[in-house]
Structure 1
């Protein structure tokens, strides 16, 4: 483990990472370059607000989202998924609904 990946908190030293993958509803191929760019910015904004870090985001095959997240041990992976999916889908629908 490299030293620069270890994070220090008041009561612990940690390096907690999660690889989160989800697909679009009904696996529709709707994720284009414009939506991918919007999602990258949106995920960074959500992560900053909810106090975790999105290390990498990638859209593959236009229907899958891959996110690599680093967070404090007190933040549950289920909470991270809930925040990322819930907020992003609402904002995506508002921004790109035709």
Structure 2
């Protein structure tokens, strides 16, 4: 079931509608998010978002960065979500795909910084379209 920003979420002590456009970038902008790594990363991110009581409404994984439109719960801060996304995904991907560590000189998978912005009802479709267009504008890798 797909949610849109005008749908409200109900929790025991709150009613909310919080959407964020999040971007994670690989260290050194290395093209490592391809093939099986890309597939596994999407599954990891979706599972983690569910554990954060949220839902990924739109996602596009490019070889060197990830765009997500996330419907989030106020129970978790963006910084704690991003820390979880980066930490768990790096650990799991390095364990299952050790070859990507070589492309990163044995270092970290993600840049230490990230992008996050709130999404209003008026801007949601623009951000969805932007995320979808990323694949077309950068070519399929």
Indicate the residue corresponding to 2:23 in structure 1: 21
Contact 2:26 2:65 in 1 (8 A): yes
Unmatched tracts of structure 1, length 5 or more: none
Tell me the SS of whatever aligns to 1:5. coil
TM-score (norm 2): 0.61
Counterpart mapping for 1:51-90 below 5 A: 51-60=53-62, 62-90=63-91
Of 43-52 and 29-38, deviating more is 43-52
* C-alpha displacement of 1:9: 1.5
CA distance in 2, matches of 1:3, 1:47: 17
Which has more radius of gyration?
2
Q: Residue by residue, what CA displacement relative to the aligned partner does 1:45-67 show, whole Å, maximum 9, x if unpaired?
A: 2222333222222112x101112
* C-alpha displacement of 1:4: 6.3
* C-alpha displacement of 1:29: 1.2
Size of the aligned set, in residue pairs, is 96
- Residues 53 and 95 of structure 1, relative CA distance in 2, 3 Å threshold: same
TM-score (norm 1): 0.84
